[in-house]
Structure 1
């Protein structure tokens, strides 16, 4: 067993041997809490497999952007490729959410990961044969988008199964920690992947990047097959898929905390997230670099996002995360505006770090709050709308960013989109008091915050099941 997992388990055993309430228990608990989701074997397998596969995913992202820019030199086509790869998620996410709730989620994920691996290998074969054109890139991007439409809500709703003891109930705090740790490995990959991609592209070209990504899917498929997960017992649906979709939409639009969070992140996804498709332009034209510069910029954003994910993993409760969503939106918008003004690599790297921190802080915090609030029988559908808000709006943003960059230039584009994110944060600030009023009684019922006459310590014991 890797040292990290051994340390997490030994910390857990030490905490159990230490008398409750002692200062030593609190000290040990504070350290071990950051890794508590790794107590679950299934999550450890997932953590290991994803750590390998996600590096390959980021290598492919960078290689695809650079390949498109090398073949066409067009900022607009960078946006078009981003649009083609994400529009299927927007169109299919509500339908996919119903499918996720009707299927065994592990089997679904095995299928999507195998198909994603095949897609990467097809991209590799065409590129290495030097016959790839923008048309093949667009077609394979659409295929990846179709796969992601089912994979993302399936993966998000499967997290709770991986931190649920067999025959037991899911622990909401372990779920929050699993989301934070999942964000950590995403951003470790985001840090390593672009740097590796820059080296490989410069040395042997984009085709080898796609080949490495295709092989990396073996790790995540193997980890899923090795899990001991009992088949979820789901009642045979009595309503049609259309009625279930309508029920999910009514829940999301009628429950103010989820509606408000998803609205903010739909705006940020539309206006802010597509800054990544413009990175090749910043690397080549603004900062006068090459693929290595592109890798450094994306890696700096990954460092900021990783710092954010670690800080969230250290948290012992979901309390205060609505404020984090608010602050992160301001941070993200400000980072984009300042990045658009920068023409120096060192300053741009620092600003990418700030931008990455704000982006991931809001993304992981909103995911944790939503998954804490949503009932299990609606989890797949709600997470499909979360996917739709986060990923589904991005294709329109990619198209918009490409068009704006074509007419006004990449620096002015990110300044405009950053300003839109700050306006969204201001709107969210006006909604926050009423959102907290709705959340508070739910958190009291769950034991996350103390109710009337209940102490903080008693609330913690209620939450942990002690």
Structure 2
């Protein structure tokens, strides 16, 4: 295939990939929103809602390394299509059960677990395949479009789901999800997941245990990858707590209504969408770790602002407006961290190990979320919210300075620092 043909195919991938992700994520978001409302209406129990949340997080954290192994050792296209088909069959099975036996919370739990397994395989495999779908020059745009799809789904899913919930039964939510996944399946079936692959035609498959251990060894041998992984672990640990803390401050201490809190959360999704569009139109960041460090420091500083309404007398609408602006800014800083690191890791990790590395990163990062939620949930019950957020902000600041110290940045981007050194000398 000529370079011109590959470039045209990559352009097709860029838009097809974006469309399939957006449609699938939107269908998933609508279903997730509908199921959440259904569980709360059926049981009136926050615990039932929390159990369903655990069913959507814990299985993915457990199976992600296996998904990474499969992504590295088996055809990516086949894995993604099988996982998408599994999601359709899961929704179809729940729909059939509902029609014959009636909807039950236990059936929803089982379906959520099965769906989470399928999404883990498709998600990790897609993450490891982005660099083989498009040319390196458009990698940042592809990742930006991926994030754009997630942001649009985060905004549109609750809106569509909220409207549907008032007029349609749960069966319709399941049908919408199946249709969305069916469209995504058809789009992904037309894509060439080896377009920019650097691997040979015959790839020797590793045995499961050896393959998983190979992923661990690869990470240990690459200092920068290890540092980025540690950074993601710490960020997920503390920011899961920050999410609880900010919600606690806004709703419990400042008594903001749930309706207005919805606008505040939507501002975060809008911020991510705008940041995604910005990165999609800009040249690739030359020093991604340095750029991420700056945004992490700004993000840790912005957390301090969350406690200001507790000390300053503001009107109700000013409080809502303040947090809308704060969530918007924080989401932009988050994108300033995730986007450059995502592009950098795609290029840094060898194709043979990309799935396993992303799978292990996802497991470690996601496993920190429930831990952070439990720890911070207990802390906010017994300690002042202001002190917890101030200490957390300081810890994030210090961890950033330690992990992304100048020697690490110089090792990651020697060409930039060598050039700067030469300019200073001259």
- Report the TM range for the smaller structure's normalisation: 0.7 to 0.9
Secondary structure of the residue that 1:318 maps to in structure 2? coil
Secondary structure of the residue that 1:369 maps to in structure 2? helix
Q: Which position in structure 2 is the counterpart of 1:195?
A: 159
Q: Select 2:368's aligned residue among 390, 393, 398.
A: 393
Q: Select 1:86's aligned residue among 42, 46, 57.
A: 57
**TM-score scaled to structure 2, two decimals?**
0.79
Q: Note the 1:279-318 alignment, pairs <5 A.
A: 286-289=255-258, 295-318=262-285
Name the CA distance, whole Å, in 2 between partners of 1:129 and 1:336: 50
Does 2:400 align with 1:428?
yes
Name the CA distance, whole Å, in 1 between partners of 2:78 and 2:175: 25
Q: Given that residues 96 and 149 in structure 1 are in contact (C-alpha distance below 8 angstroms), is that contact kept between their aligned partners in structure 2?
A: yes
Q: Which position in structure 2 is the counterpart of 1:459?
A: none
Name the CA distance, whole Å, in 2 between partners of 1:294 and 1:123: 32
Q: Which position in structure 2 is the counterpart of 1:64?
A: 35
Q: Could you report, residue by residue, the CA deviation over 1:140-166 in whole angstroms, capped at 9, with x for unpaired residues?
A: 222222123322210111111211xxx
Q: Note the 1:336-355 alignment, pairs <5 A.
A: 338=305, 344-355=319-330
Name the CA distance, whole Å, in 2 between partners of 1:247 and 1:337: 41
Secondary structure of the residue that 1:153 maps to in structure 2? helix
57-66 or 335-344: which moved more? Answer: 335-344
Q: Select 1:377's aligned residue among 346, 349, 352.
A: 352
Q: Given that residues 303 and 393 in structure 2 are in contact (C-alpha distance below 8 angstroms), is that contact kept between their aligned partners in structure 1?
A: no
Q: Select 2:81's aligned residue among 106, 110, 128.
A: 110
Return closer, same or farther for 1:135/1:308 CA change in 2, 3 Å cut-off: same
Name the CA distance, whole Å, in 2 between partners of 1:425 and 1:37: 44
Q: Select 1:255's aligned residue among 215, 218, 222.
A: 222
Does 2:404 align with 1:437?
no
Secondary structure of the residue that 2:283 maps to in structure 1? coil
Q: Given that residues 268 and 421 in structure 1 are in contact (C-alpha distance below 8 angstroms), is that contact kept between their aligned partners in structure 2?
A: no
104-113 or 47-56: which moved more? Answer: 47-56
Q: Which position in structure 1 is the counterpart of 2:178?
A: 214
Secondary structure of the residue that 1:356 maps to in structure 2? helix
How far off is 1:223 after superposition? 0.8
Return closer, same or farther for 1:274/1:179 CA change in 2, 3 Å cut-off: farther
How far off is 1:182 after superposition? 1.2
Q: Which runs of 5+ in 2 are unaligned?
A: 310-315
Name the CA distance, whole Å, in 2 between partners of 1:182 and 1:345: 30
Q: Could you report, residue by residue, the CA deviation over 1:256-305 in whole angstroms, capped at 9, with x for unpaired residues?
A: 22111211211222332477789998998743335xx5653442221011
Return closer, same or farther for 1:180/1:363 CA change in 2, 3 Å cut-off: same
Q: Given that residues 109 and 155 in structure 1 are in contact (C-alpha distance below 8 angstroms), is that contact kept between their aligned partners in structure 2?
A: yes
How far off is 1:352 after superposition? 2.5
Equivalent pairs, count: 403
Name the CA distance, whole Å, in 2 between partners of 1:284 and 1:118: 39
Q: Given that residues 292 and 336 in structure 2 are in contact (C-alpha distance below 8 angstroms), is that contact kept between their aligned partners in structure 1?
A: yes
Q: Given that residues 37 and 174 in structure 1 are in contact (C-alpha distance below 8 angstroms), is that contact kept between their aligned partners in structure 2?
A: no
Q: Which position in structure 1 is the counterpart of 2:340?
A: 365
Name the CA distance, whole Å, in 2 between partners of 1:387 and 1:60: 23
How far off is 1:247 after superposition? 1.9
Name the CA distance, whole Å, in 1 between partners of 2:60 and 2:111: 14
Q: Which position in structure 1 is the counterpart of 2:296?
A: 329
Secondary structure of the residue that 1:393 maps to in structure 2? helix
Name the CA distance, whole Å, in 1 between partners of 2:343 and 2:331: 18
Q: Which position in structure 2 is the counterpart of 1:8?
A: none
Q: Given that residues 124 and 209 in structure 1 are in contact (C-alpha distance below 8 angstroms), is that contact kept between their aligned partners in structure 2?
A: no
How far off is 1:104 after superposition? 0.7
Return closer, same or farther for 1:418/1:252 CA change in 2, 3 Å cut-off: farther
The CA RMSD over aligned residues, in Å, is 3.9
Q: Which position in structure 2 is the counterpart of 1:144?
A: 115
Return closer, same or farther for 1:321/1:349 CA change in 2, 3 Å cut-off: same
Q: Which position in structure 1 is the counterpart of 2:313?
A: none
Name the CA distance, whole Å, in 1 between partners of 2:90 and 2:302: 34
Name the CA distance, whole Å, in 1 between partners of 2:98 and 2:250: 23
Name the CA distance, whole Å, in 1 between partners of 2:99 and 2:392: 41
55-64 or 74-83: which moved more? Answer: 74-83
67-76 or 428-437: which moved more? Answer: 67-76
Name the CA distance, whole Å, in 1 between partners of 2:285 and 2:9: 18
